[in-house]
Amino acid sequence: MLTNIGSDRVRSVRALGRRAVREREALFLAEGQQAVREVVAHRSDSVKDLYVDPDAGTRHATMLEAARANGVSIRDVSPEVLAAMCDTKAPQGIVAVCRSIDVDLESVLDRHPKLLLILTNVRDPGNAGAVIRGADAAGADAVLVSDSSVDIYNPKVVRSTAGSLFHLPIVMGVPIPLMLDRVRGAGLALFAADGAGESPLADVDLSGPHAWVMGNEAWGFEPGVREACDSVVRVPIYGKAESLTLAVAATICLYASAALQRADRISG
With CB under 8 A as the contact rule, the residue among 53, 102, 136, 194 that binds a copy of itself is 136
CB of 105 to a copy of itself, least distance (A): 20
With CB under 8 A as the contact rule, the residue among 95, 118, 140, 152 that binds a copy of itself is 140
Q: Let me know if 29 is exposed, middle or buried by CB neighbors in 10 A (0-12, 13-18, 19+).
A: buried
Q: Give the closest residue to 25 by CA, choosing from 17, 34, 33.
A: 17
Judged by CB under 8 A, the chain residues 172 through 211 that form the site for a copy of itself are: 202
Identify which range of 7-15, 169-177, 213-221, 236-244 contacts a copy of itself by CB under 8 A. 236-244
Strand-pair partners of 3: none
Rule CB under 8 A: say whether 120 interacts with a copy of itself: no
Nearer CB in complex with a copy of itself: 82/96: 96
Rule CB under 8 A: say whether 238 interacts with a copy of itself: yes
Rule CB under 8 A: say whether 17 interacts with a copy of itself: no
Backbone angles phi, psi at 232, to 5 degrees: -105, 120
Rule CB under 8 A: say whether 241 interacts with a copy of itself: yes
Rule CB under 8 A: say whether 60 interacts with a copy of itself: no
What pairing do the DSSP bridges indicate for beta strands 94-99 and 47-52? antiparallel
Please give the Cα distance from 165 to 72 (Å, whole number). 19
CB 258 within 8 A of CB 139: yes
Rule CB under 8 A: say whether 43 interacts with a copy of itself: no
CB of 168 to a copy of itself, least distance (A): 6
With CB under 8 A as the contact rule, the residue among 57, 79, 139, 209 that binds a copy of itself is 139
CB 116 within 8 A of CB 65: no
Q: Which residues contact 48 (CB under 8 A, 6 or more apart)?
A: 27, 73, 96, 97, 98, 99
Nearer CB in complex with a copy of itself: 16/131: 131
Rule CB under 8 A: say whether 130 interacts with a copy of itself: yes
Rule CB under 8 A: say whether 258 interacts with a copy of itself: yes
Identify which range of 2-10, 13-21, 106-114, 163-171 contacts a copy of itself by CB under 8 A. 163-171
Question: How many residues contact a copy of itself, by CB under 8 A?
Answer: 34
Please give the Cα distance from 233 to 6 (Å, whole number). 53
Where b means 16+ CB within 10 Å and e means fewer, 197-232 reads beeebeebebeebbbbbbbbbeebbeeebbebbbbb
Nearer CB in complex with a copy of itself: 99/262: 262
- In one-letter notation, the amino acid at residue 109 is L
Please give the Cα distance from 9 to 2 (Å, whole number). 9
Nearer CB in complex with a copy of itself: 21/162: 162
Contact set with a copy of itself (CB under 8 A): 42, 130, 133-140, 162-164, 167-168, 202, 235, 237-245, 247-248, 251-252, 255, 258-259, 262
